[in-house]
Amino acid sequence: MNCTPDFVKLAEAFGAKGFRAKKPQEVKTVLQEGLKASGPVIMDFLVAKEECVYPMVPAGAPITEMLLA
């Protein structure tokens, strides 16, 4: 069961622009489009759990308790 919201649709529901990169080769295009857009923008980058992207915040923890390694 996937409980992750569709951030592109959520952005659009609030009048913002939403962009998503599903593959590494899409990142540059999404960044370029998002940075040149006017108004609020949400950029969603799908990353495999195994990639260990940092900083991470444990579920339920405040942002001040980031894991940096």
Mean pLDDT of the chain: 89
Indicate the length of the chain as a whole number: 69
Would you state the pLDDT for residue 6? 93
Domain membership flag for residue 30: yes
Peptide bond into 55 cis (omega under 30): yes
In the predicted model, is pLDDT for residue 23 greater than 80? yes
Domain membership flag for residue 2: no
Instruction: State the pTM of this model.
Output: 0.70
Domain range for 29 is 7-65
Q: How many domains does the chain have?
A: 1
Residue 11 banded pLDDT, cuts 50, 70, 90:
very high
Domain membership flag for residue 1: no
Would you state the pLDDT for residue 49? 75
| CA gap 48, 5 in Å, rounded | 16
Would you state the pLDDT for residue 1? 62
